[in-house]
Structure 1
Amino acid sequence: MADRTWPDAPLVTAAQGGDSEALATLVHGSYPHVHRFARSLCATPQDAEDAAQEALIILYRKIGMLRASGALASWMFRIVRNECLRRARALRPRGPSAEPGAAGGTAPSAEEDVLLRLEAERVADAVAALPDDQRRVLVMRDVQGLPGRTVADRLGLSTAAMKSRLHRARRTVRETLGEEPAGRGGTGDGI
């Protein structure tokens, strides 16, 4: 049962006040939730574990920055999401043309930067909402850029099964983002 509920507000308040025992209990009690969310968003179990650990380190170091003790869950989920996105971005090749809005080597305007961040959040939310099997294939193939055969091998799938999951994941993300009508792109669940 303790696994199902986040640490309560009095514990958070005590940790914010500098109580080291409360802080240790808070970090320990938050771990299952943070790790579960990281597993649902990150491509690999190793990335999920690393993202969860990083989020708990931030919790430990910056608990005083949390404004409302009841906002712990949303704060931690945002930290984990950002860490998973950071890890995924680190795997992409970087070059002069890899940056959106980097025409001619100039930095994007503040407005472009905000719009790109908002769009990235929408995409991250759509990917996070995918079933676990589809999300892993999509992240490994489209975010990390791994070859299809490598993705299939790492997940213990046939190439055909990997392609099917990837197709469903891409279609679901497009539908979620409103880029494709629900009736297009295949027959039902593709089963």
Structure 2
Amino acid sequence: MNRRFRWPDERLIKAAQNGDVTSLTTVVMESQPHVRKFALTLCASPQDAEDAAQEALIILYRKIGTLRATGALASWMFRIVRNECLRQARLFVSRSDEAAAEPEAGAQPSAEDAVLRRLEAERIAAAVSGLPHDQRQVLIMRDVQGLPGHVVARSLGLSNSAMKSRLHRARAALRHSLAQTDQAPEQASGQAPGPTPDQTSDRAVGRPVGGGP
């Protein structure tokens, strides 16, 4: 394997942890292609991936001394990128959820309502983050960012019909995931079921119930 595609070796990482600036710079440079690959796999869009990769590399540069095992660099970077992509997904979903649930003029949401909305946004974001990359990507671009279908299709290199098919699978997978999390607390408490998964996922991504692609 070509040297430039390998993760930095432990000797180099150790030198960087000991304060050698040249070694630290080399560690960051050699980690960069792998970190970007992680980000492109986990994040919803190339721009999100670039932001997540940049954040991970900044953390690597500033906090390499906190890495306890020099052989664990790859898993550390993966966790940082994953968390950043999840944070971005939460931000998208939270914005959409807030826009869909704006109170009437003069109405002040209670602290309890605010907490419930935040918890719901986090639950939806976790479900979105758990989707396969291709499904997560099309779902966020179409239903969260609100991009037109033809723009999403062109951006992903798909025909309109292929984009719609992928979006349909993504919505179905999201509904299934939300249904699983809905059932657990209801079964434990014996409460009557709440909104259907279709209604929950539609509200979460700012799409009218039963709305098309």
TM-score normalised by length of structure 2: 0.63
Distance 2:140 2:84 in 1: 14
| TM superposition shift of 1:73 | 1.0
Q: Which residue of 1 aligns with 2:84?
A: 83
Tell me if the contact between 2:136 and 2:170 (Cα under 8 Å) persists in the aligned partners. yes
For 1:95, give the aligned amino acid.
Answer: E
| TM superposition shift of 1:118 | 8.4
Q: Which residue of 2 aligns with 1:166?
A: 167
Tell me if the contact between 1:88 and 1:143 (Cα under 8 Å) persists in the aligned partners. no
For 2:96, give the aligned amino acid.
Answer: P
Tell me if the contact between 2:127 and 2:177 (Cα under 8 Å) persists in the aligned partners. no
Q: Which residue of 2 aligns with 1:62?
A: 63
Distance 1:123 1:135 in 2: 6
Tell me if the contact between 1:6 and 1:29 (Cα under 8 Å) persists in the aligned partners. yes
Q: Which residue of 2 aligns with 1:20?
A: 21
Tell me if the contact between 2:90 and 2:125 (Cα under 8 Å) persists in the aligned partners. no
2:111 paired with 1:105:
yes
| TM superposition shift of 1:169 | 3.4
**Compared with structure 1, are the counterparts of its residues 25 and 122 closer, same or farther at alpha carbon in structure 2 (3 Å cutoff)?**
farther
Instruction: Report SS of the residue matched to 2:74.
Output: helix
2:52 paired with 1:51:
yes
Larger radius of gyration: 2
Tell me if the contact between 2:86 and 2:126 (Cα under 8 Å) persists in the aligned partners. no
| TM superposition shift of 1:177 | 8.3
Distance 1:31 1:56 in 2: 7
Deviates more, 1:136-145 or 1:168-177: 168-177
Tell me if the contact between 1:152 and 1:158 (Cα under 8 Å) persists in the aligned partners. yes
Deviations along 1:75-123, whole A, 9 cap, x unmatched? 111111122222333333363958xxxx8323649xx97x986885565
Which has more helix, going by share of residues?
2
TM-score normalised by length of structure 1: 0.69
Matches within 5 A, 1:139-158: 139-158=140-159
Tell me if the contact between 1:66 and 1:72 (Cα under 8 Å) persists in the aligned partners. yes
Report the count of equivalent residues. Answer: 168
Deviates more, 1:1-10 or 1:18-27: 1-10
Distance 2:115 2:177 in 1: 27
5+ residue gaps, structure 1: 180-191
